[in-house]
Amino acid sequence: MRRLILNFHLAVALIAGAFIALLGVTGSILTFEPELDRLLHPAVSYVKPGRRILSLGEIGAAVSRQYPDEPIVAYLPSLSPEFPTRIILSRGIISVDQYTGNILGVRTRGLTFLGLVRALHVRLASGDRGRLIVRCAACAMLLSLFSGLYLWWPARRMRIRRPWFSSAFWFDLHNAVGVFSFAFLLVLAGTGIVIGFEDQASSLLGKFAGSSAMPVKPALRALPSEHSGLELTPDQAVDIARAQLPGTVADRVQMPRFGGSYQVSLVNTRDRTLGTRNSVSLDPWSGQILSTTRASDISLGERILAWNQGLHTGAAFGISSRIIVAAAGMLVPVQIVSGFWIWLRRRTIMHSSRSE
Compute the average pLDDT of residues 303-326.
91
Compute the average pLDDT of residues 251-256.
94
Q: Which pLDDT does position 165 carry in this prediction?
A: 79
Query: What tens digit of pLDDT does each residue of 118-166 get?
Result: 999 999 998 899 999 999 999 999 999 999 999 999 888 888 888 887 8
Q: Are residues 96 and 103 in contact, defined by beta-carbon separation less than 8 angstroms?
A: yes
Compute the average pLDDT of residues 93-105.
96
Distance (Å) of CA 302 to CA 86, 276, 313 = 29, 9, 17
Q: Which pLDDT does position 258 carry in this prediction?
A: 82
Query: What tens digit of pLDDT does each residue of 207-235 get?
Result: 776 544 444 444 444 444 444 455 789 99
Query: What tens digit of pLDDT does each residue of 190-206 get?
Result: 999 999 998 888 888 87
Query: What tens digit of pLDDT does each residue of 278-314 get?
Result: 899 999 988 899 999 887 777 888 888 889 999 999 9
To 10 degrees, the CA torsion angle through 99, 103, 109, 112? -80
- 199, HSE (Cβ side, Cα atoms, 13 Å): 1
Q: Which pLDDT does position 222 carry in this prediction?
A: 43
Q: What percentage of residues in the chain have a pLDDT greater than 70?
A: 89
Q: Which pLDDT does position 272 carry in this prediction?
A: 56
Q: Which pLDDT does position 228 carry in this prediction?
A: 47
Tell me how long the chain is.
356
Distance (Å) of CA 301 to CA 65, 138, 190, 216, 316 = 46, 22, 17, 15, 17
Q: Is the pLDDT of residue 4 over 60?
A: yes
Question: Whole-model pTM?
Answer: 0.84
Confidence of residue 351 (pLDDT cuts 50, 70, 90): low
Of 177, 174, 196, 178, residue with least CA distance to 23: 196
Query: What tens digit of pLDDT does each residue of 11-53 get?
Result: 999 999 999 999 999 999 999 999 999 999 999 999 999 999 9
Distance (Å) of CA 123 to CA 118, 127, 169, 203, 340 = 8, 6, 35, 22, 25
Looking at per-residue pLDDT, the higher value among 350 and 148 belongs to: 148
Q: Which pLDDT does position 196 carry in this prediction?
A: 93
Q: Which pLDDT does position 48 carry in this prediction?
A: 95
